[in-house]
Structure 1
Amino acid sequence: MSDWKPPPFGTPTWMGIPAKDMARASEFYKTVFNLPFMTPQPAYHPENEVRLFDFSNESLSLTGGILQTPDKTGVIKGDKGGICVYWFVEDVEESAKIIEAAGGKMLSDKVMVAEFGAYRYFEDTEGTVGAVYMMVK
């Protein structure tokens, strides 16, 4: 991880696949796409809330996992949206202003990811749920 460099701002960097049944969804994506899962996962991402993909051997800037629904914010639900793309930004609060000025709306307050990141969910002009994600300095 020490060699990791953040991607340019505006890069899709994480995707969350909502699932009501974590085990069933994990097995589906493993069977259909042979997606590897991180084992063990970091303690700040309990497996009953998220199953992280393990793309560490790939040259991808995109990673993600399967998210238990509803998520802890209540925004991501199994009956709304589908895959949620997290966009890498410099500042989630400044991005919120831009999203709202462009006709979108913010769906959550800032949520911390351990001590290194934060995200906020938004809805675009067409009703699609996305998120902006930043590294904490």
Structure 2
Amino acid sequence: MSANEMPPEGSPCWIEIPAHDVPALKNFYAALFPSWEWKPSTEEYKPENIAMISFKQPSGLSGGIIKLPADCVRDEQKNGVGFTVYFFAESIEGIQAKIHELGGKTCLEKTEQGKNGWYANFTDPEGNRFGTYEVNLANMK
């Protein structure tokens, strides 16, 4: 990325997903979101410590599933605690079924967001909370 391609200050640039079992959580997200692009592991970035992601859009956004220290004890992230990253979904019902099939849980059922769409919150198998957003295409005209 060159200086001319840099996003404005304050733009999201990295999504970090903590995990005790990086490869297992990578499998969860790879199955859930097949559009995510996974960067190859290197000697410096071993697959048991980090699984790096680059997203097609927005440009410049990347992330990784990062190994937590072995002595780190975590509780499931509850609604209203910390930041929540929302991922687009064609259908919340469809993605919800896939999340449950892959070992995740629903923590906030599909909720209407005015006339624009719907959102829901889930936790992955490690307890990380994330959201999904479905656009109301009928109101996009």
Q: Which category of TM-score, normalised to the shorter sequence, fits these structures?
A: 0.3 to 0.5
TM-score, L = length of structure 2: 0.43
TM-score, L = length of structure 1: 0.44
**Highest RCO, 1 vs 2 (Cα 8 Å, sep ≥ 6):** 1
Larger-Rg structure: 2
